[in-house]
Amino acid sequence: MRLTKFATFLLFTAPCFATAFQITVDASSLPPATSGFIDFTLNGGFTATAVISNFSDPGGSLNAPSIFLEDAAGALPGTVTLGSVNNDYDEGIIYGTPISFLLTFSETPGGTTGDVFNLSLFDTAFDGLLTQDVTDGEIVQFQLDTQGNITPDALPNPSGGRSFATITAVPEPATLFFAAASLVVLFFLRGVQNRYSPRSNPIKNDRSGSTQ
């Protein structure tokens, strides 16, 4: 019984610290063929790394000649890496829907304040789209503190309601393995416990005390 409880404890205390996130932005409310700029930044002055991969923009397109890089490498729809102290990737885009990508963080910022990752979507005048923060254009933001914690935030839509952005944590392979292994141990121990647990006496006594 104690071993079964221990296996259950392992299952629910498996590592749950996420460093990868699936980002999806519903751009269906924009007029067809809306043009603008997509912008990724990682700022704060302390080295950490953010990698954008698996970028998708169905119905839209990117303008490679317009790419602006500051301490960043790569190009959409391929992998883009922000990995210095103050990073910026900006590219012209015709918006499709949904816009999606995988965001993976590594390293822990030093100093005392940590770093901030931002995704901004702009129109051609560099006003923010699909977000309440029209000035900065931020629709998704991640706070990376000096303890290794990552806090995601999807900003409200222009009317202050639910965000057009969705952030989903992606479990690391080690986390999935740990949880699966805990489940295997749990079911094994329960099977052993059921096999060897005391069984009730099949001989029943009647009220007079005689056996049948």
Give per-residue pLDDT as tens, 164-183: 999 999 986 544 344 444 44
3-state secondary structure of 182: helix
74-94 average pLDDT score:
94
30-37 average pLDDT score:
97
pLDDT digits (tens, 9 = 90+) for 110-138: 778 889 999 999 999 999 999 999 999 99
pLDDT digits (tens, 9 = 90+) for 85-104: 789 999 999 999 999 999 99
Q: What pLDDT is stored for residue 46 in this prediction?
A: 72
Q: How far apart are CA 138 and CA 122, in angstroms?
A: 9
- The more confidently predicted of residues 11 and 41 is 41
Which residue has 């809306």 as its token pair? 34
**Which residues, 6+ apart, have CB-to-CB distance to 122 below 8 Å?**
36, 37, 38, 39, 128, 129, 137
Q: What pLDDT is stored for residue 109 in this prediction?
A: 86
β-pair partners for 81: 51, 73
- The more confidently predicted of residues 24 and 148 is 24
Q: What pLDDT is stored for residue 181 in this prediction?
A: 44
Q: φ and ψ at 52, to 5 degrees?
A: -100, 125
Res. 159: pLDDT tops 70: yes
Q: Compute CA distances 121 → 133, 161, 200, whole Å.
A: 10, 18, 68
| Strand extents, DSSP E, 57-98 | 61-70, 72-74, 80-82, 87-94
Q: What pLDDT is stored for residue 5 in this prediction?
A: 43
Q: What pLDDT is stored for residue 177 in this prediction?
A: 40
Residue pair 48/111 in contact (Cβ under 8 Å)? The answer is no
- The more confidently predicted of residues 2 and 123 is 123
